[in-house]
Amino acid sequence: MPTLDAHQILREAPAFVQGLIDEATRRGIDVSAYPIDHVCCRTANKADYVLLRTQFLMFSQLLSEALIGGRPICTFRLPRPICVGPREISLLELPSPKSGQSYETGLEHCEFVVRQGFDRLAAGYPQISFDLRGMGKAINPELVLPLSANRAVKFHAQPLDEVIELENAGTL
């Protein structure tokens, strides 16, 4: 089994994100107008989470490690953004695995910020079956486009770093 490496994950991120964009485009969704907020790296187990958390802490700024849904989730500001064409992604989310869920360690999704509202976005793509389960979240609801190989594109109303600032200020 290869050793986990945060730097390798970041090297793989541009091609991974471009692959998500390409798959969304093939399904008929144009995401070119939406900023990419962050990428998410899932972990298969707590040991992988602790190892990657430790590695990212060595060179990234920890914005938050909060208990969400009963498990810790870290958000890091990267020292250099991930570049995908002209787009820059400055944040990486690292959630500890949910109890009873099975994940592979590695990149899983990216999230776009959609400020005009999810109803308008979804109405523009009536042929798409979005996952609406995250719409009821109290903080930063989400609209999800499931893709192949357990990957996804997610849409949020607010950038993750803004949500963290509001949480830290006690206004959420």
CA nearest 66: which of 139, 7, 115, 134?
Answer: 139
Domain borders along the chain are: 6-167
User: Where would I find the H helices in 65-143?
Assistant: 118-123
Instruction: Report residue 1's pLDDT band, with 50, 70 and 90 as the boundaries.
Output: very low
Q: How many angstroms separate the CA atoms of 156 and 115, rounded?
A: 8
Look at 3 and 88; give whichever has higher pLDDT: 88
Instruction: Report residue 172's pLDDT band, with 50, 70 and 90 as the boundaries.
Output: low
- The 3-state DSSP class for residue 26 equals helix
pTM: 0.92
- Other C-beta atoms closer than 10 Å to the C-beta of 121 total 18
Sequence-ordered strand ranges (E) for 85-169: 87-95, 106-113, 142-146, 152-156
> Is the pLDDT reported for residue 17 higher than 90?
yes
117 contacts: CB under 8 Å, gap ≥ 6:
157
Phi, psi of 91 (to 5 degrees): -120, 145
Q: How many angstroms separate the CA atoms of 37 and 55, rounded?
A: 21
- Other C-beta atoms closer than 10 Å to the C-beta of 155 total 22
Longest pairwise C-alpha distance within the chain: 45
Look at 1 and 132; give whichever has higher pLDDT: 132
Q: Which residues pair with 82 in a beta bridge?
A: 89
Element containing residue 165 per DSSP (H, E): helix 160-169
Give residue for tokens 């991930």: 82
> Mean pLDDT over all residues of the chain?
91
- pLDDT recorded at residue 16: 97
**CATH code 3.10.180.10 for 6-167:** yes
pLDDT in tens, 21-79: 999 999 999 999 899 999 999 999 999 999 999 999 999 999 999 988 889 999 999 99
Rounded to an integer, the average pLDDT of 83-111 is: 92
